Amino acid sequence: MPTNLAEFLPRLKRLVPRLRGKRIGVVGDLMLDRYLWGTASRLSPEAAVPIVDFVEQSECLGGAGNVAANLAALAARVEMFGVIGGTKDAADEPGTALRNCLRAANIVDKGVIADAERVTTVKTRIIARQHHIVRVDRERREPLRTETEERLLRSLFGALKRVDALILSDYDKGLITDAFADRILSACHRLHVPVFVKPKTSRLYAYRGAKAIVCNVKEAGMFVSRTLTDEKSVEETGRALLAHFGCGAVLITRSGKGMSLFEESSPRHLNIPATSFEVTYARVGQPGIDRSAGGRQVFDVTGAGDTVLSVLALAAAAGASLPDAATLANTAAGVVVGKLGTASVRPEELLHALDEIRR
């Protein structure tokens, strides 16, 4: 069921201020995104690779931390739950940097547990003149120790009574297992806390009872072992995933084709088209939009799925219907893909993007 974005705009604009102050919990795989910025004008004599002259280093939240950062950027009150490397007294070096990033974003980190037998996941990207040269990952993927998992769950369960929604962000780093997810969803069900999930393809049945599942078109195809090539295959897959997950809704993000929302309570699905404006390189990180071209130029899709998940959950917690929440999430993702690297969207940017659609 295609829809015209203009029909949603008045409600969406009224919705944006209501996002402020909503309490959202985020549990998932924490990562530190580290960027080494430099210049490159020559090749190495040792191999056919560029020599990057280091200029500066920057760090930001990745993985489930980026979901939390997106929520905080929209003025939500966010509590983070996850595991980093280190001891009870001191995190490892990237874990300390990650905590600093959380606190700088006004994200409560009391639920972030340090474990001496793990390392903080770090994804180090080397960027030369805005070109991504290489990424180096440091991580552990084995399941949590029972002791660490119980500490994390105690902290999370103690917070559930004060949150409006919970986001489960699974990056397959060992934190979220079937049993772990089942205990969280059971606790949330008892307390009537809606759960929004970004799943991984290794777990198909672990999220029963979730309010909504968010996945991209490739992930959706992997869940049902088929390639989604047309509208019919997308519709059949969306309906199949509703049954597989036993959830209230499935949102499939489809890049340039927008999103498709399937709700258990509705016999028809909703197609949300991608916004038609283009974000040019010269405007990266700026709210302004260039309409000189007819299509969209996506600069960097890093973290766009996190933006969709966070805005969907936050808007629903603020009282929006899932179609309205998904449409707002689609608009937010359109802003984020015009920024270099892991990014988030601010309320004024979201309102500006909605104004541009109106025009």
How far is residue 150's CA from residue 19's CA, in Å, rounded to a whole number?
Answer: 32
How far is residue 57's CA from residue 36's CA, in Å, rounded to a whole number?
Answer: 5
CA geometry: angle 278, 306, 131, nearest 5 deg? 55
Catalytic residue (choose from 33, 306, 324, 355):
306
Residue 16 is given by DSSP the state: G
Is residue 137 annotated as part of the catalytic site, yes or no? no
- Alpha carbon distances (Å) from 171 to 159, 182, 224: 22, 17, 19
How far is residue 172's CA from residue 169's CA, in Å, rounded to a whole number?
Answer: 9
To the nearest 10°, report the CA torsion of 328, 333, 338, 340: 140
Q: Which helix (H) or strand (E) holds 261?
A: strand 259-263
To the nearest 10°, report the CA torsion of 59, 62, 65, 68: 90
**CA 269 to chain CA mean position, Å:** 23
How far is residue 278's CA from residue 196's CA, in Å, rounded to a whole number?
Answer: 29
Active site residues: 306
